[in-house]
Amino acid sequence: MNSRLAILVSGRGSNLQALIDAIAGSQLHAEIVGVFSDKPGAAALQRVPAPLRWAADARQFPNRMEFDRCLADAISVAEPDWVICAGYMRILGVDFIRRFAGRLLNIHPSLLPKYRGLHTHARAIEAGDTEHGASVHFVTEELDAGAVIAQATIPVIAGDTPDDLAVRLLPQEHRLLTAVAQLAVAGRLAERDGNVEIDGHRLFQPLRLDCEGNFPLRPASGA
């Protein structure tokens, strides 16, 4: 049976689209059971049929906990196996994170642990980095600090602006998120005691995508 994915979005939804395309192309054996947003006007929502959309304006709630509870209840109804933050720009509270712990993933546009939070491209340029990238990690209570599963890198070229980096990184983000989702839905990915496990073995450093968009892993047993 296909794995059930819930996707959280706040904006344009190109990462969501990458997952939709991978499913349509049979590279990802999964079903999107809901797309959830803190921004009812998010363009990302339009990428899926109306019955799959859920959105509420976080500003209409008395506090973070109330919004998170409403969001979490809506997600639970969809019974996802994995919950993926794909350009979800709102900080998730502790109760939400505990509720989905171990099956909650996020894509972040930096080579974590560098540049948690916002403005990652500008910060990489200011620091004089020659390499930049994106990370997919398990979400834990500390912002952008959960165990990193995999990363994709791009070079920083002299004269690059933050927008240049964002544009160059985006296709890598799409490949990275799709590749991690493939591991997740194949049952190969887990979090144990704050560490990433692939096929039951602890990962000591994040996986890196090769130039074909694959991870240097043995095929899953039975594949």
Q: How far is the CB of 43 from ligand GRF (least distance, A)?
A: 8
Looking at the chain, list the stretches that DSSP marks H as alpha helix, in order from N- to C-terminal side.
Answer: 14-24, 64-77, 94-99, 120-126, 162-185
Q: How many CA atoms lie within 13 A of 30 on its CB side?
A: 32
Going through the chain in order, the beta strands assigned E by DSSP cover: 3-9, 30-37, 53-55, 82-85, 104-108, 131-138, 148-155, 189-192, 195-198, 201-202, 207-208
Closest residue to ligand GRF: CB criterion: 87
Binding flag, residue 171, ligand GRF (CB under 6 A): no
Binding flag, residue 173, ligand GRF (CB under 6 A): yes
- Region from 11-19, 143-151, 199-207, 212-220 binding ligand GRF, contact rule CB under 6 A: 11-19
Which residues in the 22-51 window bind ligand GRF by CB under 6 A? Answer: 44
Give the closest residue to 61 by CA, choosing from 88, 38, 33.
Answer: 38
- Region from 28-36, 107-115, 124-132, 148-156 binding ligand GRF, contact rule CB under 6 A: 107-115
Q: Are 20 and 99 in contact (CB under 8 A)?
A: no
Q: How far is the CB of 162 from ligand GRF (least distance, A)?
A: 11
User: 145 or 197, CB closer to ligand GRF?
Assistant: 145
Q: Are 134 and 107 in contact (CB under 8 A)?
A: yes
**Applying CB under 6 A, what is the total number of residues that bind ligand GRF?**
13
Q: Which residues bind ligand GRF (CB under 6 A)?
A: 11-15, 44, 86-87, 107-109, 134, 173
Q: Which residues are catalytic?
A: 108
